[in-house]
Structure 1
Amino acid sequence: MSAPSLRQEQRDTLVAALLATGLRDTTAFRAVYRLTSPKLFGICLRICGDRQAAEDVLQEVYIIIWRRAASFEPLRSSPITWLAAIARNRAIDWRRAHRAPLAHAPDTEPPATPEPPDDAPLADAAMVAGEEAHHMHHCLEMLDDLARDAIRSAFLDGATYPELAARAGVPLATMKSRVRRGLLQLRKYMTDDC
């Protein structure tokens, strides 16, 4: 099976599980957890910077997913994008509530963190994920430096718009516009197979 068809099959499996979860199917919800918990835990850990906090936030994320699964619309976004947004937003809420700064300086690599306790993904799934990540990073490199750095800090490091604006010394509205324009350009590059 080729990588694009495998990727589509995995996406279809996750969409079906999310839709069934929306109908309160607990077996489907367990499938959603099994398919997504390593990725969502990684998002929570990167933003929270603390393993215990990330585990607590991840539990809250799955409660939110259980409650909101009926509102998932597969034609509007990919399932992993929808789920990652929930995890990212909840982790940022935790960080704001605990007034926790980013776990690392914005211009340095984040410290290495231990692997999540969940089982490693299958080799073919890891290969597909690696190809997707490579494609996204390639497309990110095509953006101008300001937009690329703002998007990486916001979506990969969990920085908030006010933090980004303060770092760059620009008004908040300017930063929001910069990120939005960058995301629109990134979407275009990714759909055009940059």
Structure 2
Amino acid sequence: MEQEQLFPLLCQTADGKRDAFAELYEITSPQLYAVVLKMLKRKELAEEATQDAFIKIWHNAGSYQRNKGTVLTWMVSIARYRALDLMRYHSIRNEVVLEDESGPPGDANEISLPTHEQKKLDECMDELDQQQRQAIHLAYFNGLSHHEVVKHLSSPLGTIKSWIRRGLQSLQRCLSI
């Protein structure tokens, strides 16, 4: 799935073209569903989060800013935030067992990216420091807030925020090469 394919569909969606939105949904819904299912661990909640995310995408398609990331990244962030909202609402953070955050993402964190993109993401995650990888894993793959990552890793909030910020900056540099 390429930016060149998704961007025109999102622009047409912003113009209210339902056919473009339907195609955008068909192309991207498996990726968004995989992300939220990974976070929520429950099919019914993942389906709800995915549906809510697409409603938000339909209403906010015109607000996408190309210079801030790819269409898919923008869409995944919408889905992720909806999943976090549902986690808070249903208080399921305490129900899920945290996955081993110390290892590389591999299959456990795969979000249905094309093979070459997943391989690049895995390579870039492997280049991060252990603490950065752990903090990013807990925050983005397990959906924990910064304060919850603090409790889990027994490190100060400023340190956790720095690890995540520097890790994401490193990932961005690595992925843009």
Shorter-chain TM band: 0.7 to 0.9
Give me the whole-angstrom Cα distance separating, in 2, the residues matched to 1:139 and 1:75. Answer: 21
The farther-off stretch of 13-22 and 162-171 is 162-171
The answer to whether the Cα contact below 8 Å between 2:98 and 2:142 also exists between their aligned partners in 1 is: no
Aligned to 1:41: 33
1:190 paired to 2:168: no
Give me the whole-angstrom Cα distance separating, in 2, the residues matched to 1:93 and 1:81. Answer: 18
Specify which of 57, 65, 76 is matched with residue 65 of structure 1: 57
The answer to whether the Cα contact below 8 Å between 1:47 and 1:103 also exists between their aligned partners in 2 is: no
SS at match of 2:86: helix
Opposite residue 28 of structure 1, the aligned amino acid is A
**Residue ranges of structure 1 left out of the alignment (5+ in a row):** 1-6, 114-125
Give me the whole-angstrom Cα distance separating, in 1, the residues matched to 2:30 and 2:149. Answer: 27
Specify which of 61, 81, 90 is matched with residue 98 of structure 1: 90
Specify which of 100, 107, 119 is matched with residue 107 of structure 1: 100
- Identity of aligned pairs, percent? 30
Give me the whole-angstrom Cα distance separating, in 2, the residues matched to 1:173 and 1:25. Answer: 45
Aligned to 1:176: 161
Scaled by the length of structure 1, what TM-score is found?
Answer: 0.80
SS at match of 1:105: coil
Give me the whole-angstrom Cα distance separating, in 1, the residues matched to 2:88 and 2:158. Answer: 20
Aligned to 1:86: 78
The answer to whether the Cα contact below 8 Å between 2:12 and 2:20 also exists between their aligned partners in 1 is: yes
1:30 paired to 2:15: no
The answer to whether the Cα contact below 8 Å between 1:17 and 1:32 also exists between their aligned partners in 2 is: yes
Give me the whole-angstrom Cα distance separating, in 1, the residues matched to 2:143 and 2:22. Answer: 27
Give me the whole-angstrom Cα distance separating, in 2, the residues matched to 1:70 and 1:30. Answer: 16
1:165 paired to 2:158: no
Specify which of 133, 138, 142 is matched with residue 153 of structure 1: 138
Aligned-CA RMSD value:
2.1
Scaled by the length of structure 2, what TM-score is found?
Answer: 0.87
Number of residues of Structure 1 aligned to a counterpart in Structure 2: 169
Aligned to 1:3: none
Give me the whole-angstrom Cα distance separating, in 2, the residues matched to 1:182 and 1:53. Answer: 29
Q: What is the CA-CA distance between 1:46 and the residue it aligns to?
A: 1.0
Q: What is the CA-CA distance between 1:137 and the residue it aligns to?
A: 0.7
For residues 86-140 of structure 1, what are the alpha-carbon distances to aligned partners after superposition, in whole Å with 9 as ceiling and x for unaligned? 001110110011111263223279xx99xxxxxxxxxxxx8x7111111111111
Opposite residue 105 of structure 1, the aligned amino acid is L
Q: What is the CA-CA distance between 1:165 and the residue it aligns to?
A: 0.9
**Residue ranges of structure 2 left out of the alignment (5+ in a row):** none
Q: What is the CA-CA distance between 1:173 and the residue it aligns to?
A: 2.8
Specify which of 54, 61, 68 is matched with residue 76 of structure 1: 68
